[in-house]
């Protein structure tokens, strides 16, 4: 079973959420948006994986994280742990090698975007 951690980063004014899209080919999910996320490496715990992914992908420092829930992923044999994250600041720098786009998006904007199905389900159940 593969484990994935996802960081929900919220901006208060206007209320918006950090989403990214990858340059990788994800088949039918290519060019979809999702919160910053990544797989756990061998011997890594969820918080250290979350810190590593935020730093690698966005140059963001994680201050603390609170687990919201764990769900089934969109990929077979994948479990996803979702965390609300407090970060040092909301400014980010996209890792141009991995990510195609990123930004803070409001609920209204997100409803018009191509979101990973698990992301949409999560936001509908736990955030909106």
Distance CA 118, CA 42 (A): 24
In this prediction, residue 23 carries a pLDDT of: 92
Q: Edge-to-edge strand order for the sheet containing 62-72?
A: 37-39, 2-8, 78-87, 62-72
Strands 78-87 and 2-8, bridge-based pairing: parallel
CATH architecture of the region 2-127? Alpha-Beta Complex (3.90)
In this prediction, residue 29 carries a pLDDT of: 77
In this prediction, residue 79 carries a pLDDT of: 96
In this prediction, residue 46 carries a pLDDT of: 98
61: left (phi over 0), alpha (psi -120 to 50) or beta: beta
For residue 90, the 8-state DSSP code is S
Mean pLDDT by 10 residues, the chain (128 residues): 96 96 85 95 96 97 97 90 96 95 97 94 93
């Amino acid at each position: 079973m593969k484990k994935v951690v996802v960081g929900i980063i919220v901006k208060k004014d206007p209320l918006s959420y950090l989403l990214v899209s990858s340059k990788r080919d994800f088949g039918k999910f290519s060019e979809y948006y999702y919160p910053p996320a990544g797989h756990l490496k061998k011997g890594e715990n969820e918080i250290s994986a979350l810190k590593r992914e935020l730093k690698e992908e966005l140059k963001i420092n994680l201050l603390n994280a609170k687990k919201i829930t764990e769900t089934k992923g969109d990929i077979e044999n994948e479990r996803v742990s979702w965390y609300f994250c407090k970060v040092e600041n909301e400014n980010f720098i996209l890792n141009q090698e991995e990510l195609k786009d990123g930004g803070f998006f409001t609920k209204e904007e997100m409803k018009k975007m191509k979101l990973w199905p698990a992301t949409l389900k999560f936001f509908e159940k736990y955030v909106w």
